Amino acid sequence: MTQPFSPAVLERLGNAQRVTAFTGAGISAESGVPTFRGTDGIWSKFRPEELANMNAFMRNPELVWEWYAHRKRVIAEVQPNAGHHALVRLEQLVPQFALITQNIDNLHRRAGSVTVYELHGNIERNYCMACGRTMSNEEVLATPGVPHCSSCGGMVRPDVVWFGEMLPEDEWEKSVRAAESSDFFLSIGTSAVVYPAASLPLLARDQGACLVEVNPERTPMTDNVDEFLQGQAGTILPALVRALEGIRAGRD
Ligand code: OAD
């Protein structure tokens, strides 16, 4: 089925020099990674205050590690989907491109996206809380329980951002610059409720970008976007990229 994109959006995309995509858990849903919110979301089954903050970790590191070890194994088994692959193609088609993600699943890089800013960390990385040494998933999953640093014996944690923690400064600054300088900004598969990440789409729009949202459901941001593309990322993004390829072919 051909996706009906408005002529205004296709014109803005066809002329865009700097395109930024901003993704949330929804883009990985079709790969089989559960989202956080909604009826089947992770936070409907588990309490974030028991699993995703430093106090919870210090109180019960075994429980937190059990949960992360499970998620690491689930994510290692899944594959990038058509939505991830469409963003790889988009990066090749436009002069400047940045992909900002809230996801920790590493599926954008595994698909082949190059310029990726990870605002909430990456579940494939771990580091020692005492000496900072990094450890691979292979190392930390080799033995059950809480992993310890093979250099200093300190406790190891996943390299993900927990509630109450700062975002990685460098990734955040690059993301703000990408948002501010983009002329076309795609917000994909995010409920747009977790700040500061959720401020980026409207920052881009305030600075003049055409803001397009891709989501099966409306979000708090939907009333303020230039175009709401209602549906699944794995369907809409490949269609949008095909439309851009069509525009480019027509100009040749
Ligand atoms: P959410 O679970 O809050 O939202 C997922 C969004 O994806 C919802 O708006 C869904 O409607 C939409 N969605 C579902 N299936 C989709 C599909 N096939 N295509 C497109 N969209 C789809 O996830 P995030 O917005 O990513 O933070 O959540 C933000 C942050 O909250 C996460 O990064 C995580 C979480 O707590 C940390 O871990 C720090």
Q: How do residues 105-136 score in pLDDT, each as one tens digit?
A: 999 999 999 999 999 999 999 999 999 999 99
Provide the pLDDT confidence category of residue 1 given band limits of 50, 70 and 90. Answer: very low
Ligand 1 binding pocket, CB closer than 6 Å: 24-27, 29-30, 35-37, 41, 52, 102, 120, 161, 189-191, 194, 214-217, 219, 232-234
With 0-12 CB in 10 A as exposed, 13-18 as middle and 19+ as buried, what is 139? middle
Q: How do residues 22-39 score in pLDDT, each as one tens digit?
A: 999 999 999 999 999 988
0.85 surpassed by pTM: yes
Supply angle C-alpha 155, 159, 164, rounded to 5: 95
Distance 249 CA to ligand 1 centre (A): 34
Catalytic residue flag (residue 70): no
Cis? peptide before 196, omega within 30° of 0: yes
232 CA: nearest ligand 1 atom: 19
More confident residue, 6 or 50: 6
Query: Six-digit token pair at 97?
Result: 């491109």
Distance 108 CA to ligand 1 centre (A): 15
Q: Which of 84, 85, 108, 120 is catalytic?
A: 120
